[in-house]
Amino acid sequence: MSAEKLPRLVIEHVTPELDAGRHPVKRVLGDVIEVEADIYKDGHDAIAARIVYSGPGDEGWQSTPLEYQYPPDRWSGRFEVSRVGRWRYTVEAWPDRYGSWRSDLEKRVAAKQELGVELLEGAALLQKAAERLAGEAATTVHAAARSLANPQLPQSERLRVAFSEDLLPLIHGPLDAADVTRHDRVLEVVVDRRLAAFGAWYELFPRSQSTDPALHGTFRDVERRLPELAALGFDVIYLPPIHPIGVTHRKGRNNNVVAEVGDVGSPWAIGGREGGHTAIHPELGTLADFDHLVECAKKEKLEIALDYALQCSPDHPWVKEHPDWYFIRPDGSIRYAENPPKKYEDIYPLNFWCEDRKGLWNACLEIFLFWIRHGVTVFRVDNPHTKPLAFWEWVIGEVKRRHPETIFLSEAFTRPKRMKGLAKLGFTQSYTYFTWKNTREELTEYLTELSGLDGEGMPEYFRPNFFANTPDILHEYLQHGGRPAFRIRLLLAATLAPVYGIYSGYELCENVPVHAGSEEYIDSEKYQISVRDWAAPGNIKADIARLNRLRHENAALQKLANLKFFPSDEPNIIAYHKSAPGNDLLVIVNLNPYSTHETMVTVPLKDLRLGEDQPFEVEDLLTNERYVWRGRRNYVRLDPRDKVGHLLRVTPL
């Protein structure tokens, strides 16, 4: 590098920055991006710095100053993201010639030195600054330069101009372009709409929404349920695959490898003579019926999410049109999916690295674009960890370039690094290990990581979606814990994470596995129609409705990284604090669904801005009961047959 191009100062440790800028961080519309950096140089000259940033579609850059924080020797600033899409930002810094001059001038004034030449130097600096300005700003700075250079003015007046704080915003910026050092990376932030970071999901099978077990449900049946689901406070209605289901090697009830007459098969065996991933299963209705469902959902302030499963039944049109898109065995047959010893003969996996991968990848992209044209901008992606990471980075990037409002939920129950990697590559949200975290130690350890309490910055890119159950996962905690277990896990999911979900039947506390030791449901809805009585005794719909309402009313429940745990003497009781400006909540939950537990909790008075002996009121938002507490140590008793937990709003007295 030539001497002329060497940097004038050092910029390092810029935040937020993910993997040295390889991946963008994530935010939502209206967020303020807090940018910090270490900036320093040789000598005693003052430094000035700024954030430069650009929003989606912008041709140029905007800037906002960085301010110096002395104790941590750090610079900080902020800018607001006002549009959905991909933003860019970086940091620039330069020797602050006018700031250095002012600092020296102060010292000379204090020492009562002659100031004539120094004032002329200041005038020259202001004159140079004015040359890059226009309009009223240029006029003001030119006038200030003339005042500093005018020996006819009293020195006190010239000093008043020199130390004017009003001048500083006008002349903030480098006096010479060669002075500027820019951080060696332009960083990115993906800005999503609010639903990406806060919302409640409900999963249902459309074919099970009729009131007669002998009748296949339709989109019209789903429409009839929308008002109830909206009243329960859900934001997203997620539908498993709605496409034609293959008949070749169709699965029977309870995953039987042989289907009986009338068996409806697995919706994930996608494709038949009626079409593939852009077709509708005929018994659900028509494409026009689906469009009508999407519009009805919007009227209820609900969004329809579709399953995006890149696999095909042997009857999928692609099998005949593009057999080279699959894995061909030595005997010329197409390899079906298997996880030995399990066999899935009703499904063919796609070969994403086939010779015609460009054609295959573009066809997969078109599936997204097709459903977006029909009003769907939320997708739950099936098993993304079994497809190439490079494919996901490409296809999500292509979709979001055209439709930045699109949300992608990753159903990747896989090893941690792959889950995190998928989030970094573009997935908006992810399923998690929450279902398997049931003790205080497990929950505390896992949430410490997810919420960023460990300092590793996971919330910068990973948004957990705490589904309490799925068609594939009925945890033994729910199998054996009965109704209290369902209420406990609901309270945890809805208050620990800003995004959570349940699968149909959770509200009815369905908990019977296909056999002991299995997490599969008996008579699984994946292979048959399941008609339910949604008003059955013992349902927990009132809990769901109240919690979803409270989530919307309390900003503290709408964030992830605002979580802090506080001590409870009883290991079966977990306690945590969620906070937002003007909204402090203490959540205390009995994790044991079988027995009552009582304990003393140690309230985090400092975090609540309360004095050591100051009384304060806690209102249980789940029951409307109020208590007056004082000091750190306070008593709690929780009977899972009645109160599985407290959701306490704190008010100082």
Q: What is the DSSP string of 538-582?
A: T--HHHHHHHHHHHHH-GGGG-STTEEE--BSSTTEEEEEEEETT
Whole-angstrom distance, CA of residue 295 vs CA of residue 539 = 29
How many CA atoms lie less than 13 Å away from 232 in the CB half-sphere?
A: 22
Whole-angstrom distance, CA of residue 198 vs CA of residue 95 = 43
Catalytic residue among 31, 92, 346, 382: 382
Whole-angstrom distance, CA of residue 643 vs CA of residue 639 = 5
DSSP one-letter code for 18? B
Helices 416-425, 389-402: crossing angle, 10 deg rounding: 30
Nearest to residue 488, comparing CAs of 648, 636, 647? 647
382 is catalytic: yes
Catalytic residue among 303, 411, 460, 543: 411
| Torsion, Cα of 569, 570, 573, 578 (10° steps) | 0
Provide the residue type at 154 as one letter. P
By the 10 Å C-beta count (0-12 exposed, 13-18 middle, 19+ buried), 203 is classed as: buried
- Contact yes or no for 621/469 (Cβ under 8 A): no
Using alpha carbons only, what angle is made at residue 439 by residues 433 and 442, rounded to the nearest 5 degrees? 50
How do 615-620 and 25-28 pair as beta strands? unpaired
Contacts of 42 (CB under 8 A, 6+ apart): none
549 CA to centre of own chain: 20
Q: What distances in angstroms separate CA 402 from CA 181, 395, 425, one per listed residue?
A: 34, 11, 17
How do 615-620 and 626-630 pair as beta strands? antiparallel
411 is catalytic: yes
DSSP one-letter code for 329? P
Q: Could you give the residue numbers annotated as active site?
A: 382, 411
